[in-house]
Amino acid sequence: MRDHRALLVDLLGHGFSDRPRAFDYAMESHAGIVASLLEETGVSGCVLVGHSMGGSIAVLLAASAPDLVARLVVAEGNLDPGPGSVSGIITAVDERTFVASGHAALVQRDLHAGHCHFAGSVAVADPLALYRSATSLIALRRPTYRELFAALSIPKTYVFGERTLPDPDVERLRDAGVDVRIVPAAGHDMMSDNPDAFAEAIADPR
């Protein structure tokens, strides 16, 4: 990263960003906010890196504002509709229940599982934002993230954590011409599990 200007973005309702109650927290809306940030800071032709839900948002952004993104790196982002391991837990209850008790339970679950970094990111997220973001993330949309990702003509990298394998998408994406990289000794939370190897995996194309 020493040769790049780096912008680390907290999505609205996540991290330490604002938590506007009028924001709908849809994936497309998140992508629009990040696009506005890039435009406001004079950034174009960037290397866009998105992890997990952020990867899906990055796909939407690259597809909707191609002038802003020169290369896309998706780290275990959702490519297909339907719940994943975390979004499935969040959306298994209704919004009111998750806000009232599900959010705290999810934090405790991850702490007990030893996923302290992830638990911390969940803990500082607004429960309402987390729920509505998860609901939008897994919703059926046309085209899908996968279809949008496949249609992009820019250099594309998809990153897996070694501990999440095997995954049929490794060969599926490679067959589609995607640069697939694997972070050793890491799971889904790869930038915390093995930060040096993750940094190498998202480096410029080989």
Average pLDDT across the chain, whole number = 94
**Angle, alpha carbons 70-176-9 (nearest 5°):** 35
Give the span between the Cα atoms of 74 and 50, in whole angstroms.
5
State the pLDDT confidence band at 43, using cuts at 50, 70 and 90. Answer: very high
* Per-residue confidence (pLDDT) for residue 206, from 0 to 100: 62
**Which of 27, 37, 97 lies closest to 57 in space, CA to CA?**
27
| Strand ranges for 52-124 from DSSP E | 69-75
Beta-sheet strand order (sheet of 69-75)? 46-51, 69-75, 156-161, 179-183
Domains of the chain: 27-85+139-201 (3.40.50.1820)
Tokens representing 102 are 């599900």
pLDDT per residue as tens digits for the range 63-86 = 999 999 999 999 999 999 999 889
Q: How far is CA 25 from the centre of its chain?
A: 14
Q: What is the pLDDT of residue 90?
A: 96
- Please check the confidence at residue 49 and state whether its pLDDT lies above 90: yes
Q: Cα torsion for 55, 148, 202, 8, to the nearest 10°?
A: -40
The answer to whether residue 13 scores a pLDDT higher than 90 is yes
Q: Name which residue leads in pLDDT, 145 or 206.
A: 145
pLDDT at position 115 is 86
Residue 4 predicted with pLDDT over 90: no
> For the segment 114-124, what is each residue's pLDDT rounded down to a tens digit?
888 889 999 99
pTM of the entire predicted model: 0.94
Q: What is the pLDDT of residue 87?
A: 94
Contact 23, 36 (CB under 8 A): no
- What mean pLDDT comes out for the span 14-39? 96
Please report which confidence band the pLDDT of residue 204 belongs to, taking 50, 70 and 90 as the band edges. confident
Q: Is the pLDDT of residue 138 over 90?
A: yes
Tell me the pLDDT band of 1, cut-offs 50, 70 and 90: low
Q: What is the per-residue pLDDT across 166-195, written as a single tens digit (0 to 9) for each?
A: 999 999 999 999 999 999 999 999 999 999
